[in-house]
Structure 1
Amino acid sequence: MPPAPPSTRPQFDPLVVSPPLARARHLTGARDWPGLVRYFAALDHPDEEAAACRTVGGTHGSETFLRQVADLYPADPLPRVLLADRLISLGWEIRSGARAQHVTAAQFEQFHAHLRQAEQLLIAVCAQYPAYALAWYLRGITARGLELGQSEARRRYDRLAAHHPHHYPAQRQLLQQTCPKWGGSWEAAHGFAEACARAAPPGSQSPAVVAEAHFEHWSDLDGAEATGYLRRPDVRDSLLNAAAASVLHPSFRPGFHGVTAHTYFAFTHSVAGRHAEAAPHFRALGNCADEHPWLFLPGRDAAAAFSKHRASALGRG
C-alpha cells in the first residue's frame, strides 16, 4: 500500500492496489502457461494464491485458454482449479449480485450449471490432492452458490482448515455463508468471526473477519438502528481488539488482502463516528481501498464517501 497525499482520489482497482496481481492478469491474457506456473510457484502463502486464482478466474475470455491447458496437463491440479474459478466467475456474472428474489429462474439455471461444472473439476482435484488449498477454497464458494447448506459449507471449510487453519479468503467465504442472507444467523456469523480471531496467531489477517461481520450486520439494518449498532460499546471493543491482533499488530504482513482488511475497520469506525479509531486504518490505506463497503452509503459514490470519511478521520483523528 504505497503512501500518497490524502487529498488524492482513492484507487479501488485491485490490480493497481496490488500490482503483482496485474502480472497474473497479463500472463493469463497472453496465454503464457509456463509464466503462470512460475508465477504461482513464487507465491509463498495460500492467501496470496487465492487472490491470484480469483484474478485469473476473473480474466475475460480466459476460459478457452484454461480448457486447453487443463486438457493438455490432465494430471496437474492448477489448470483445473483455475478453469473451475473461471466457470465460477462466469456463473456469478450471470446470476449478478442481486438478492435472490431479483434473480430470474433462467439466470439461476445457468448460474448453477456453471457451478456444477466447476464442482466436478474441484471434486476430482480434492480427491487426488486432499490438502490443496485452492480447490477447497473454491468449493466454499460453490457450496454457497449451489445452496448446499450450512453443514456442507462448514465441512468443506474444515477440510481446508485442517491443513491451512488461518486461510483468510476462505474465512471470508464461510462468513458470508453464516450470515442470515445465506441461511445463517447473526449469532453464527459473529461466533465464527470471533473464533477465527481467537485462534489466529498475532499479526494474522484472520481477525479482520470480525470487522467484516460487523459490516454485514450493519448492512442488514436501516437508518438510526444501523448506526446505533456500530456505536455499541461491545462492537467498538470487538473492532479494537480485532485490529490490535491483526492489521495494527507489529508483525502484520499486508500481502494481497491488507487493503481489504484495513478498509472494513476504517469503514465501521467511520460510520460510527469514531474518527480517532478510523485514522490509523486510513493512514495505512493511503489512496488504496476496497470499494465494496463504501458503495453501501447514501449516494453509492464510493470515491466520494471514502474521501469524506478519510478527511474526517485524518483531520480529527
Structure 2
Amino acid sequence: MSAPTPPIGRPLLEPTEHFPALAALRSAVRAGDARAVRAAFAPLTDEDDRALACSVVARTPDCETFLREAVAGHPGDPLLRSLLADRLIRIGWDIRTGQRAKHVSARQFEQLHAHLRQAEILLIDVCAEHPRYALAWYLRLITARGLELGGGEARRRHDRLAEHHPHHYSGQSQLLQQLCPKWGGDWDTAHAFARDRARAAPEGAPNGALVAVAQLEQYLDLAGNRDKAAADTYLRAPEQHTAVLEAAARSVLHPTARTDAHQSVGAHNAFAAVHSVAGRHAEAAPHFRALGDRATEFPWGYVGPDHAAAFVRHRKTALAKG
C-alpha cells in the first residue's frame, strides 16, 4: 500500500471530508431530495461503506422531517426506513449522551428508549420483508444495546446479520461494545470475539481493528477506575503488543487492503490510537501516514477531551519517531 503525501493540514474529522461522495449525499439530504439520496447509495456495494453513509445521513441535523416524508412517499423502501431509523437512534443517543449510566437521568433514559422503540418498529418490518438487508440488522444491534435487551438478543441479531454478511465490520463493532463489561459482558469474551473475527476476515479487511478497539476499551475501563498504572501496564504488555501488530499486518497494513474503503479510515485511527497511548509512537507512524489528515472522533475521544488535538499531538510525535 503506497503512502500518501505526509499530513500538512488540520485534522478532517467528518467522513464527508474524507470521501466527496458522502458530501454529495449530505447535500441531497439537506435539499430533501429522496431520489438523489437513493442514487447516492446505489454504487455502494460494500455493506460497511453503506453503514458509514447511513451514519452521515443520521448525523445531518433536523433531517428527520424529510425522512418521515420520504418514507411516507415510499413506504416499501427498506433504505429510507433504515435511514429514518438511524436518525431516530441518533436523536435518542444524543439525548442520553455518552456518559456512563450512573450519570444519565431517568428522563434521558425514557426519551432514549422512546426513540429507539420507534426505530425498532421500522427495522423489524424491514428485516421481516428483507431478511438479508444488512443495514437494518446492523442498526438493530444498536437498538438492542440501548433498549438493554441483553447479550443473548444482541448475539441473535448479529448471527442473523452474519448469515449473509459474515465479515460485517460495523456490525461486529457494535456487538463488541455489547460484550464489554460496561454493557454486561466480560473481557475474556470481548477479546476472544475480536480476535476470532479479525482472523476470520479476509486479508486486507478492516476487521483486525477490533483487536485494537477491545484493548482501548479495557485500558479506558482501568484508567476510569483511577488505576492509570494498571491501565498502562495492561496496554504495554508484550502479549497486547503482539496481538495488535499481528492484527494490523493482516488488516489495513496488508498489501491487499483497500485504501478507498470507508471503514479503513476508522481502522487506521484505532491502530494509531492504541499504539500512541501505549507509547509505541514509531509503530503508530505507518497508520498516521496512511491517514494523512483523516481523523475520526472515535477512538480519539478516549485519548483526550479534545479528540482533534489528541490526534494532532500523537501524529506529530509518531511521525517524528517513525
TM bin (shorter chain): over 0.9
Distance of 1:61 and 1:186 partners within structure 2: 38
Q: Name the structure 2 match of 1:127.
A: 128
Q: Quick one: which amino acid aligns to residue 289 of structure 1?
A: A
Q: Name the structure 2 match of 1:219.
A: 220
Q: Quick one: which amino acid aligns to residue 164 of structure 1?
A: H
Q: Name the structure 2 match of 1:90.
A: 91
Kindly provide the CA deviation profile for residues 223-245 of structure 1, in whole angstroms up to 9, marking residues without a partner as x.
Answer: 12111111100000100110011
Q: Name the structure 1 match of 2:279.
A: 273
Q: Name the structure 1 match of 2:253.
A: 248
Deviation at 1:4, TM superposition (A): 4.8
Distance of 1:69 and 1:294 partners within structure 2: 35
Kindly provide the CA deviation profile for residues 133-181 of structure 1, in whole angstroms up to 9, marking residues without a partner as x.
Answer: 0110000000000000000001000100100000111111011000000
Q: Name the structure 1 match of 2:146.
A: 145
Distance of 1:173 and 1:94 partners within structure 2: 19
Equivalent residues of 1:11, 1:17 under 8 A apart: yes
Equivalent residues of 1:4, 1:287 under 8 A apart: no
The TM-score, its normalising length taken from structure 1, stands at 0.96
Once the two structures are superposed, the pairs formed by residues 1-317 of structure 1 within 5 Å of their partners are: 3-222=4-223, 223-254=228-259, 255-297=261-303, 300-317=305-322
Q: Which runs of 5+ in 1 are unaligned?
A: none
Deviation at 1:303, TM superposition (A): 2.9
Change over 3 Å in CA distance of 1:166–1:315 after alignment to 2: same
Distance of 1:30 and 1:256 partners within structure 2: 24
Equivalent residues of 2:6, 2:289 under 8 A apart: no
Deviation at 1:63, TM superposition (A): 1.0
Larger displacement relative to structure 2 (5-14 or 34-43): 5-14
Distance of 1:297 and 1:111 partners within structure 2: 26
Identity %: 58
Distance of 1:120 and 1:305 partners within structure 2: 39
Distance of 2:28 and 2:262 partners within structure 1: 18
Deviation at 1:86, TM superposition (A): 1.0
Distance of 1:251 and 1:142 partners within structure 2: 34
Equivalent residues of 2:3, 2:289 under 8 A apart: no
Distance of 2:40 and 2:142 partners within structure 1: 24
SS, match of residue 60 in structure 1:
coil
Change over 3 Å in CA distance of 1:2–1:19 after alignment to 2: farther
Q: Quick one: which amino acid aligns to residue 268 of structure 1?
A: V
Q: Quick one: which amino acid aligns to residue 311 of structure 2?
A: F
Kindly provide the CA deviation profile for residues 177-201 of structure 1, in whole angstroms up to 9, marking residues without a partner as x.
Answer: 0000011111111011011012111
SS, match of residue 44 in structure 1:
coil
